[in-house]
Amino acid sequence: MKILNLIILLSFASPSYAQNTSSTDNSAVDAPKATAASSKKKSPLLKAKDSPPTSKALPIRVTYGSTAWNKNSEQIDSAIMFVHDKRSDKMAKITLEETAPDSSIFQGQYSLSWTGDLAEPEIYIPPQNLRNDPKAEAKYHALMKDKKVTPQPLLIRQEGNVAEYDVFDTNDQLAKAQKAYEQEKDAKNKSDQSKLVKPQASDAALQVAQMTAQQIMMAKLAKDAANKEADRLRLQQIEQQKMDQERKSMAKLAAADQAKRRAQAAALGQQALAHYSKGEYAQAEAPFKQSTELDPDNRSYHFQYGVTLYRLDKLTEALVILETAKVDGQTELEKKYYMGLIHYKLKEFAQAKDMFGQVKGSKNPTLAPSAAFYEGLIYLSEENYKAAQASFEFVIDNSSDAVMDKKSEEYIEQIAALIAAKKMAAKKWILDASAGLNYDSNVLLLPNLSQSTPSNAGGVRASGSANVERRLFYKDTSDMSVKVATMYLYSFDSKFTSADPAGLTLTAPFSLKGTMGKRGYKFTATPGYDTIYMDYNSSGSRQELVNSMTGDFDLMLVMNERWFSSYNFNVRDDKSKMPSAVDQDMSAIKYTFKKMETLFVDESKKRALIGYVDFVDNIAVGSQQRYTKVDLGVIYSAPIERFKNMTWNTALTTYVMSYPNYLGNGNRKDTDLSLALGVSKVLSERWTWANNASYTNNASNEAAFGYDKYSLTTTMSFNWDDAPKD
């Protein structure tokens, strides 16, 4: 969720701030009567057994269900609460927003920056008379001091790196929530344990099983919907019988008595409508019911009566009444919208989708976007990602509700990730290839792998590379591939021929994916073999310079949604094929340890800051080829908003390389600093064009190895895979 604003906060001990990561509106609405703060009884706070220390550094997500706060079924409502820390006596006013236009579930995510830990949190719901008072926080704090208000029952648990604050009205609700949470946790543990068992079925069989399970689930929902529809038909029959009986009873009365009964029904109807207009649905139900019983032929109140039953969560009765309601054109649209909501809550998705589709097709500026939002949720549950995406795009194009637009954008991003994951799983063959041109102002000659000497001359060079991957399997918990990669560098000036390498690499990466504690992880082990060819003796043809057996081990941890940590260990056994003296033998065992941090600086993950450090120890056979190396680097990448599908990046890197026994003269030390700037443009699904400029300065205590240079490169890349097309 995007960080949109700072919530107003009042600190009673020292300055503090509460940052809301999900809300933009500070408007207030009525608290439910169940939360009236007059009780002297203390409301408990329960922590799940595995909940974290409640720290200022941990974001909190507050969730509360309230039909009273849900004032408008066509838009997302909002409300306020107070978060209070008993230990520090600090208080923050927070805003919660409805998760969907008529969900009655209110939620907000915040980052509290109080000094010290938030050790004893409390949640308070202020009464109506303090809502718009500019001194509300101070007055409410005084009420707390006098113990005239009571905190809400609160359950704290951890989901990922967020502390979940589930707020309730009664202690009984809290106890049931705690029990449900423990059952959910036990079920999850059993599920996680089952994932540790390696499935014996083929990848294709697993995909079929997943599809079958989805079909079985949807078939069960359809069957349940059919059963509920049958029940409603029986209720409609009974309702119709009641109306017929009342109609017959009415016909037996004298004309004056009939008129009196109709007048009484009309008065009750007006009384019910008065409660209805104020949102007092519990008070409206009885007079609506009495009115319809007294005058069965007057169905002008049936729509409001049906909505009243819906708001009281009497869904089946509401649907029966709404279906009998006689309404005009505009109200007919509202009727279909509410019937769609009822079907949705009953998980009767086919009927709900039909109703929402009709409302969406009306292009009504208020109801159509809300209906499209729910339509998108249904398509998403059916894994019909393209249809879901179209529904949420309709919301963005037609809604004037900024909050609903934002939530639709979030769903579209999730759908894009789901589609990408689905495509990724379907790929068996993947090809990446690139070709480019480069101008290098100071071509480095490579008499061996570790000691580059500047030519002090520039030239144009062509490059090419290709990588072919064959997926052996790709599952939620593991995947394995075989890869063949090749690269080639060609200098147009023959004097740089000895600086042009060609290489071939074979690898077989195997990955395990899952959770480690509270974090997701991916561990990849990659055995490999590679060989490099160069014209190292200027004979006019390239000979094998070195071949290597390699092992690469990489652990990537998802610290949170926007922070990834990576730990890498690489070992390679280089076998030199170039004739040389013993002390110049490049054959070596080389170890590399690397740590990399990736931070996405926006919610869309389009702006990334990457930092890394690594240490290399090259234990060569030849004493003069032994070296250690420390690399540091920082990279930033972001889109260029003005141009579609264009990204820029910049990198600042440095390394220090030490040869402890260079030419028997003691330690040689090279210090390299490089600055790069690049721009890339995605031309199509298959083609990408990239351009890069860099400047490098290498200082060395051996004068022959000191140099500076700049380089300009343009590259065209091609990607292909055999995943099914849309």
CATH code for the domain in which residue 268 is found: 1.25.40
- Do residue 517 and residue 654 come from a single domain? yes
Does 371 fall in a domain? no
Write the single-letter amino acid at 625. Answer: Q
Quick one: pLDDT at residue 31?
35
215: containing domain: 206-326
pLDDT in tens, 418-470: 777 777 777 889 999 999 999 999 998 765 555 678 888 999 999 999 999 99
Quick one: pLDDT at residue 450?
58
- Do residue 163 and residue 29 come from a single domain? yes
User: For residue 709, which of 499, 489, 436, 443 has the smallest C-alpha distance?
Assistant: 443
Quick one: pLDDT at residue 188?
53
Does 99 fall in a domain? yes
d(CA 100, CA 73): 9
- Do residue 221 and residue 164 come from a single domain? no
> Quick one: CA dihedral 169, 172, 175, 181, positive or negative?
negative
Quick one: pLDDT at residue 129?
65
Mean pLDDT of 652-670: 85
- Do residue 504 and residue 622 come from a single domain? yes
- Do residue 585 and residue 663 come from a single domain? yes
Identify the residue whose tokens are 């190292």: 536
Does 243 fall in a domain? yes
Quick one: pLDDT at residue 7?
27
Confidence class for position 247, pLDDT limits 50, 70, 90 = low
Q: What is the phi/psi pair of residue 91, to 5°?
A: -135, 145
Give the total number of structural domains in the chain. 3
**Cβ–Cβ < 8 Å for 339, 322:** yes
Q: Which of 170, 194, 218 is the last residue of a domain?
A: 194
Confidence class for position 51, pLDDT limits 50, 70, 90 = very low
d(CA 631, CA 170): 58
Q: What angle do CA 678, 680, 683 make, to 5 degrees?
A: 165
Quick one: pLDDT at residue 415?
84
pLDDT in tens, 278-305: 888 889 889 988 888 887 777 778 888 8
Quick one: pLDDT at residue 710?
95
- Do residue 190 and residue 210 come from a single domain? no
CA atoms within a 13 Å half-sphere pointing along the CA-CB vector of 116 = 13
pLDDT mean across residues, the chain? 78
pLDDT in tens, 353-377: 999 999 999 988 888 998 999 999 8
Q: What is the phi/psi pair of residue 363, to 5°?
A: 60, 20
Quick one: pLDDT at residue 664?
61
Which residues, in sequence order, are bridge partners of residue 674?
Answer: 653, 696
Confidence class for position 115, pLDDT limits 50, 70, 90 = very low
Quick one: pLDDT at residue 173?
72
Range picked from 161-175, 205-219, 548-562 for highest mean pLDDT = 548-562
H/E run at residue 629? strand 627-639
- Do residue 483 and residue 523 come from a single domain? yes
- Do residue 240 and residue 272 come from a single domain? yes
Mean pLDDT of 99-118: 71
Range picked from 120-129, 470-479, 500-509 for highest mean pLDDT = 500-509
Radius of gyration of the chain (CA): 34
Confidence class for position 625, pLDDT limits 50, 70, 90 = confident
Does 358 fall in a domain? no
pLDDT in tens, 548-560: 999 999 999 888 8
Quick one: pLDDT at residue 651?
96
- Do residue 178 and residue 267 come from a single domain? no
pLDDT in tens, 492-518: 998 888 888 999 999 999 999 888 777
Which residues, in sequence order, are bridge partners of residue 524?
Answer: 511, 554
Q: Which of 168, 194, 220 is the last residue of a domain?
A: 194
Which residues, in sequence order, are bridge partners of residue 698?
Answer: 672, 707
- Do residue 466 and residue 566 come from a single domain? yes
Quick one: pLDDT at residue 382?
82
Mean pLDDT of 690-708: 92
- Do residue 228 and residue 132 come from a single domain? no
Q: Which of 269, 297, 326 is the last residue of a domain?
A: 326
Q: Tokens standing for 120?
A: 């004893």
Quick one: pLDDT at residue 194?
36
Confidence class for position 232, pLDDT limits 50, 70, 90 = very low
Does 416 fall in a domain? no
Does 459 fall in a domain? yes
Range picked from 105-119, 193-207, 248-262, 484-498 for highest mean pLDDT = 484-498
Does 382 fall in a domain? no
Q: Is 298 helix (H, G, I), strand (E, B) or coil?
A: coil
Does 408 fall in a domain? no
- Do residue 532 and residue 560 come from a single domain? yes
According to DSSP, residue 721 is labeled E
Percent of the chain with pLDDT over 90: 28
pTM of the model: 0.53
d(CA 317, CA 342): 10
Q: Tokens standing for 693?
A: 């400029």
Q: What angle do CA 232, 235, 240 make, to 5 degrees?
A: 125
CATH number (domain holding residue 535): 2.40.160.40
